[in-house]
Structure formats: C-alpha cells, structure tokens
C-alpha cells in the first residue's frame, strides 16, 4: 500500500458547470503515484472518464488542470501546471503546460487539481480559496481580453496577488488554438485548451490560498534546494538565460539554418537582427520575470517605447513567438513582434499556432488562393505587420474569413484546397513550432510522433541533429527522440520546469531525491522515466481510440519537396523513404506494432493491462 | 549595522525569498508565512517589487505599539517580543511600507528579523536584487551607475 506524506495536497475539486456543483474528492495514493501528477493525471482521468469520440467542445469533454507533486515547493523552477483535455485542434489527446504562480496558489488553496466538467449556461468564473470553490457570474468580463479580465478581477476582488487563469475572446469564440493565460504573461498555449474552457463558459479561474503545502522531509528538501542553487548560481549559462531567456536562440537558429522563415519555406532570415535578443534587450526589456521559485528567470517584461503602439507592454517575447511572428511572417522590428505577442495574449491565441497560421494565410494570399476582397481589404503580404494585427483580430473574433482560419491550418487548408495543403505546416492538426526540420531528422521525427501533434517541447532533438550530422537518419537519433519523449515530459508530470535540468544541469537523480523528500516515497530515476513512458503510451492509446492512425505520424509535404533555399544546409530536404524507415524503427524500439499501436505486452510491462484490454479488445 | 538593500530593478519576481524565509522561520513550505512579499506589477509599471521591513531608524511601528512588544534593538534591528504582543495590528497601520505580515495560523505578526545577521533571502536571491550591506554602502551599486552616467562618454 503506497502512502505519501507530502508533495501532494491530497485533494481534487470536481466542478460540474452544468449543475454548478462542486465536490471535493480525496486522491487515491496508488493513482497519484502511478501517474505522478500534471499531464499524467490528466491522461489517466481522460482515459477513465471521457468516452471516445466525445465532441472536444461539448459538455462531455473535461478540462483537467493538474499540478505536480513538486509544484509550489522549494525546488528551482517548481512553477508548472498542466491543462489537459481532448483537443479541439487535433481531436486527440491534448495538453499544455504553463509556468507562473498558478500551481503554487492552487496547492496553497488546498487542491492538487481541478476537474472541470459539463457546461455552464451563463459565463462564470471560478473563485478558489482555502478549500472552497465557488462558481460566480462573469457576464461583466465576458467579451473582454485575457489581460483585461485579469486586471479587472484583481481590481474587483481587491487583491493584486490573487493568481488568475483566464481566456480571451478567442477562447469564448472557440478558436481551435485558443490559449489559457496565467499571471498575465504565461500561457497554456498549445492544443486549444482555451477553447475547451470557453466551451464550458468559464472565463477565468481566480485563486488565493494560504495553507502550508505538506512536505515529508523539510530538512532534506532544504538541503537539496541549497545544493541545486549553489550549482545553478555559478553555472556559466545562468547570466545569458537571465538576460535573454530563450530569445538567445534566434541567432543560433539563423546560423544553423533551422529558423522558420516565410512560412517554413526558408530556414534563415536576413532580418533576424531586427527581432533577436540583443535588439529586445536594447529597445524594449524593462524587467526580468520568473516563474515560481526559478533562478533562471527566462521571462522578461518588455514595453514598446516608440511608434503607434508606444506604451504597450507584454511578458515576452520568447523564442517561439519571435520566430513564428518574426521570421516566419517576416516582421522587421521587435516592436511589431511585441505587439503581435500582446494581441495574442490579450485575445487569447496561442502565439505558435497563430504565427504559423498567419504565415500560412500570407502564403495563400501571395499565391492568390485568398484575395484582398476575401480579407475585407487587408493586404496580407509577408512582412505587413498592420495586416497581421488586423487579421489576428478577425481570427480571434471569427469575423469574415477569420472564421475559416480560426479552425487552424489543417482544416483551413482542406477547405481552401488549391494546393494549399502542401504548405499547411502541421502534424495531426497542430501547427508546427519554431524549427525547420529539412536538415534535422530527429527533430522531424519529434514533430511527427509527438503525442499532442507538432510540438517541440516533447522532444527537442535538434541538438542531436546538429551534433551527429544534418544528413543522418541514424538509429541513434530515433533512440534520442524516444529518450527525450520520456525525460522531458517527466517534468510536466512533476510540476517543475525542465530548463534547470537541461540548462543548469541539475541531474535527474536530484529530481528523484526531491520527489522522495517531498512525498516520502522511495523513487529512482528509472521509476520516474517508466512512469513517463507509461503516460506516453497512455496518451497514444487515448488518441488511437479517438481515431489516430500511423498515417498521421508524418510531416507536411514541404519538408520533403522544397529544398532549403540558402544558408548552412542549402539544398536540404528530407528523404521520404529514409524518414519512413525512421518512423518504423521508432515503433519497433517503442514496443509498438507496425501500425503504431502499443502492443499488449508493452502495455502490460507498463502496468497498463486494463488499457491493453480496451485498446485491443479483451 | 548592516541592513537589506533592495534593488527593485534587479528583482525577477521568483519568490525564492518568500519561500526560504518561511522555511527558515517556520519550517513550512508556505510563502504566505514569509516576512517578505514580491509584487509583480504589470503593465504600468512593469516591475517586481519586494516589500519587506526596512528596520527604520525611527520606526513608527515601535512608536505606536501599545504593548511595547516591538522595540529597536542595539544592533539596529526592529524586533518583536512575542510574549508581549497581543496581535492588535496597530503596527501594520503605522508602517509606511505595510511591511508587516499576518497569517491565520499565527497570533502575532511576521516581521523580518534579518535572520540574526545572515538573511537567507539575500543568500539565495538569484539576481542579487537583495543585498545585506553596511548602511554606509546601501544603494552603492545604483550610485555607481549614476556616477558613471554623470561622467559621460570617455
């Protein structure tokens, strides 16, 4: 019998929006430990509670907001919350992990997780405080932006330090790539979790908590923290991370020819100096911004200091936003990137998908597939910032042709036709994030096989491509992808950020020790990685039940057909048959059959016998 | 005497100071039990502002404490005699920075005691926004920046 003495608070609040009823449920320790937390809990609850082929935007889908056992604790970077549901963008399992302070506050309010089910008839917000959850009228906030909602809520509730997760107009209008914003500047961006929240008519979740978060061994926790901090504070990369965060990679991606440019047609961007970290620091950065207990503080507040949008501020931009709007839509100034970032944050759009879609629409425009008349006068050429701003507004509000693009590039290109499918840069319906993969086979495989669709976070394997060769389809790359798909999402289970492991080299073993100090449960790195593999197979099983087939473990045609026009890997494309072989090797190494379905043996090995029975029929 | 020197412009808002303060004084994982709190203001102004006791030379809290529970110690710290305190919160109203905290688990306020001369918030502040310096050098780094600007281009 497993018992935990801390880390977890031990309670979940189940909120039925249809009946406006809240039930507090105790967490079964064996469940807690087997799936660890965060997206692991989300996946298991989805598997158990949401029938296959549920409408992602219907009342039967559930939004599971889960912290991890390490969220909110004295651990560098312990600030992560996971949002999980069946995704409206892909129709498959979806999740998005967000930093900030929300997780700490939720646990201090007495809950590890919230299960949001049903659908309210009127707009509501949830008020969570010290063991209580209330649904409250949100008609006054409905129709306003995400940042505006957070501002108003804090004013109306009279406390600047409550923590808020909110949606903007895009979430209300069920845009497929609507995000949830936490703490003004941190977004659960991917897979349309904002639309799921909007479908339930939840405008925001406001939290305030004052409880202690239980910890099994405070002394051990503090010792581990101090050791990790000593290492972090003298690490050579700390300064650059604090100064520039992920923005430092714009220059790197340009030099290595993997910076998405002109809707992924080019991999280098001549104008990169206009949108990079140096110009951001010089022209716009006003302060650092960290998530909870994070010494790396990769975030920053920036403010536009001149031009038509003078005075507009945002937390950001970070690499993905700057690449997807900057190079991919060919913006020329950091101010325009910041304004696009602000618009998306306030309207409630995922900047990655939004940047990808605007670039797609710009290419459609330049090919004459959509016209100025279709766009109500907007001249949607690459580099036209004002056109982009106008276009983002009509997408978020689903006005005119914006309604079509609000469905995401996959569905939009299917409806538009005329060859636009070829440059719809998506996998499984999720828009590709900020790396060109034509000379990055491992990264390509990461996108093709990521469980939520094309997302870099599951496995940032491009480092391996650069390390062992930009033309190699070696099995070593496949192994790296699988390892990363377990090790990186492990942090989304634990509720901490992965940068402290990746960048300032706190070891995985230290996290196993942190987990032990927090919960009192003896754990090894192998146990943790096995749990992460378990979750990866479970999310795969969920998506297969929703209709996913191996056909979708693939990349857009452009990755194979259009050579990189210039830069370090000029002329490169992926080779279809070699890439196909890579996918097959991937299945084999994972213990999946040739159709990409986890075998009964694999599932049993991962203690998922019941999943095997439903998946394969008993 | 030494005191906390706060460089607001360097604060990243991570709240490690809050958390480690609560561990140090109460052995609890609870940033709401800290004697310091960080306000992440946004968007106007956009800044992270730690609010903590300044151990004022003329402490209004001490002046107004009806129980003489708060006192200015020889080493310059403002300290609380827990035995005398009634938890009336007059000190909270008296403090010009409202840098005195309360929590429902406790009868008496949470006030910075500078960890008896080795403040843990300073020790683990990752951006050196918090320093522990002699009063004669408090604010020196900012002063040097101003001086450099005054010197102009070489």
Q: What is the pLDDT of residues B81-124, one digit of tens each?
A: 999 999 999 999 999 999 999 999 999 999 999 999 999 999 99
Q: What is the mean pLDDT of chain B?
A: 95
CA dihedral A587, A588, A589, A592 (to 10 degrees): 60
* Number of neighbours of residue A463 by Cβ within 10 angstroms: 14
**B42 vs A: CB within 8 A:** yes
Confidence band for B152, pLDDT divided at 50, 70 and 90: confident
Location of structure tokens 């927090």: A518
| Residues A503/A296, Cβ–Cβ less than 8 Å | yes
Helix or strand (DSSP H, E) at A54: none
CATH fold of A441-504+524-616 reads 1.10.599
Q: What is the CATH number of domain A236-431?
A: 1.10.569.10
Angle (deg, nearest 10), helices A475-494 and A508-519 = 30
CATH class of A11-208: alpha beta
Instruction: In whole angstroms, give the CA distance from residue A511 to residue A513.
Output: 5
From the list B14, B104, B126, the residue facing A210 with the nearest CB is: B104
In tens, the pLDDT along A530-540 reads 999 999 999 99
Per-residue pLDDT at B1: 81
Per-residue pLDDT at B42: 87
Chain A residues 250-289 with CB within 8 Å of chain B: 286-289
- Going from N- to C-terminal start, the domains of chain B cover 2-151
Helix (H/G/I), strand (E/B), else coil: A472: coil
Instruction: In whole angstroms, give the CA distance from residue A394 to residue A435.
Output: 27
Per-residue pLDDT at A578: 98
Residue B57: exposed, middle, or buried by beta-carbon count in 10 A (0-12, 13-18, 19+)?
exposed
Where would I find the beta strands (DSSP E) of A49-170? 63-67, 81-86, 93-98, 113-117, 124-129, 132-137, 163-166
- A88 secondary structure, DSSP code: T
CATH fold of B2-151 reads Alpha-Beta Plaits (3.30.70)
- Going from N- to C-terminal start, the domains of chain A cover 11-208, 236-431, 441-504+524-616
Instruction: In whole angstroms, give the CA distance from residue A288 to residue A300.
Output: 4
Instruction: In whole angstroms, give the CA distance from residue A229 to residue A208.
Output: 28
In tens, the pLDDT along B29-55 reads 999 999 999 999 988 889 999 999 999
Chain B residues 75-134 with CB within 8 Å of chain A: 103-105, 124, 126-127
Average pLDDT estimate for A468-492: 98
Residue B111, phi then psi, degrees to nearest 5: -130, 140
- A191 secondary structure, DSSP code: G
In tens, the pLDDT along A244-290 reads 999 999 999 999 999 999 999 999 999 999 999 999 999 999 999 99
Instruction: In whole angstroms, give the CA distance from residue B147 to residue A564.
Output: 51
Strands A113-117 and A202-208: unpaired
**B9 vs A: CB within 8 A:** yes
Give A289's contacts in chain B (Cβ within 8 Å).
12-13, 40, 48
Average pLDDT estimate for A148-155: 97
Instruction: In whole angstroms, give the CA distance from residue A226 to residue B126.
Output: 12
A218/B29 Cβ within 8 A:
yes
């Amino acid at each position: 019998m497993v018992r935990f003495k801390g880390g977890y608070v031990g309670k979940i609040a189940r909120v039925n929006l249809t009946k406006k009823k809240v039930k507090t449920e105790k967490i079964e320790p064996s469940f807690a430990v087997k799936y660890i937390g965060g997206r692991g809990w989300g996946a298991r609850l989805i598997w158990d509670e949401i029938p296959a082929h549920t409408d992602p935007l219907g009342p039967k889908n559930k939004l599971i907001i889960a912290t991890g056992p390490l969220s909110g604790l004295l651990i560098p970077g312990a600030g992560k919350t996971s949002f999980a549901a069946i995704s409206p963008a892909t129709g498959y399992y979806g999740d998005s992990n967000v930093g900030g302070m929300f997780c700490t506050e939720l646990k201090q309010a007495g809950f590890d997780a919230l299960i949001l089910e049903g659908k309210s008839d009127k707009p509501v917000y949830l008020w969570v405080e010290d063991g209580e959850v209330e649904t409250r009228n949100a008609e006054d906030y409905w129709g306003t932006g995400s940042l505006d909602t957070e501002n108003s809520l804090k004013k109306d509730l009279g406390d600047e330090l409550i923590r808020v997760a909110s949606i903007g107009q895009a979430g209300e209008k069920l845009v497929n790539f609507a995000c949830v914003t936490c703490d003004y500047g941190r977004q659960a961006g991917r897979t349309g979790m904002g639309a799921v929240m909007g479908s339930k008519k939840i405008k925001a979740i406001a939290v305030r908590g004052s409880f202690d978060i239980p910890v099994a061994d405070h002394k051990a926790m503090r010792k581990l923290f101090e050791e990790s901090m000593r290492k972090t504070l003298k690490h050579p990369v700390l300064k650059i991370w604090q100064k520039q965060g992920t923005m430092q990679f714009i220059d790197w991606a340009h030099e290595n020819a993997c910076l998405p440019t002109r809707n992924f047609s080019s991999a280098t961007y001549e104008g990169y100096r206009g949108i990079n970290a140096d110009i951001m620091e010089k022209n716009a950065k006003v302060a650092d911004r960290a998530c909870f207990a994070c010494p790396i503080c990769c975030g920053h507040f920036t403010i536009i200091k001149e031009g038509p949008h003078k005075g507009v501020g945002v937390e950001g931009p970070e690499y993905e936003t700057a690449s997807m709007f900057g190079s991919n839509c060919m913006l020329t100034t950091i101010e325009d990137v910041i304004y696009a970032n602000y618009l998306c944050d306030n309207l409630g759009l995922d900047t990655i998908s939004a940047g990808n879609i605007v670039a797609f629409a710009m290419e459609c425009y330049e090919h004459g597939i959509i016209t100025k008349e279709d766009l109500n006068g907007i001249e949607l050429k690459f580099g036209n910032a004002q056109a982009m701003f106008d276009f983002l507004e009509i997408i978020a509000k689903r006005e005119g042709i914006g309604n079509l693009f609000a469905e995401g590039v996959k569905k939009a290109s299917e409806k538009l036709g005329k060859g636009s499918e070829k440059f719809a840069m998506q996998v499984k319906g999720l828009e590709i994030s900020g790396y060109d993969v034509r000379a990055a086979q491992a990264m390509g495989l990461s996108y093709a096989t990521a469980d939520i669709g094309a997302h870099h976070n599951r496995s940032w394997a491009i480092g391996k491509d650069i390390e062992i060769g930009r033309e190699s389809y070696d099995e070593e790359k496949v192994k790296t992808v699988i390892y990363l798909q377990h090790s990186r999402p492990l942090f989304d289970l634990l509720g901490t950020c992965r940068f402290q492991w990746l960048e300032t080299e706190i070891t995985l073993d230290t996290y196993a020790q942190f987990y032990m100090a927090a919960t009192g449960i003896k754990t090894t790195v192998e146990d943790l990685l096995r749990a992460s593999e378990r979750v990866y197979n479970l999310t795969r099983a969920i998506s297969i039940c929703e209709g996913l087939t191996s056909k979708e473990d693939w990349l857009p045609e452009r990755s194979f057909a259009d050579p990189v026009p210039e830069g370090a890997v000029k002329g490169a494309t992926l080779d279809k048959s070699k890439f196909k072989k890579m996918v097959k090797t991937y299945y084999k190494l994972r213990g999946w059959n040739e159709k990409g379905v986890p075998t009964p043996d694999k599932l049993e090995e991962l203690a998922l016998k019941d999943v095997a029975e439903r998946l394969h029929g008993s | 005497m030494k005191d906390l020197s706060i460089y607001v412009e360097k604060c990243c808002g991570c709240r490690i100071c809050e958390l480690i303060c609560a561990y140090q004084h109460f052995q609890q994982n609870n940033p709401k039990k800290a004697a310091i709190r960080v306000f992440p203001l946004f968007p106007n102004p956009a800044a992270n502002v730690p609010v903590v006791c300044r151990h004022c030379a003329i402490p209004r809290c001490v002046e107004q404490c009806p129980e003489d529970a708060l006192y200015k110690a020889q080493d310059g710290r403002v300290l609380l005699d827990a035995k005398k305190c009634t938890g009336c919160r007059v000190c909270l109203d008296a403090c010009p920075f409202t840098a005195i905290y309360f929590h429902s688990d406790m009868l008496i306020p949470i006030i910075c005691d500078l960890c008896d001369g080795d403040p843990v918030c300073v020790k683990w502040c990752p951006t050196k926004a918090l320093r522990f310096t002699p009063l004669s050098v408090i604010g020196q780094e900012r002063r040097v920046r101003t001086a450099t600007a005054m010197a102009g281009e070489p």
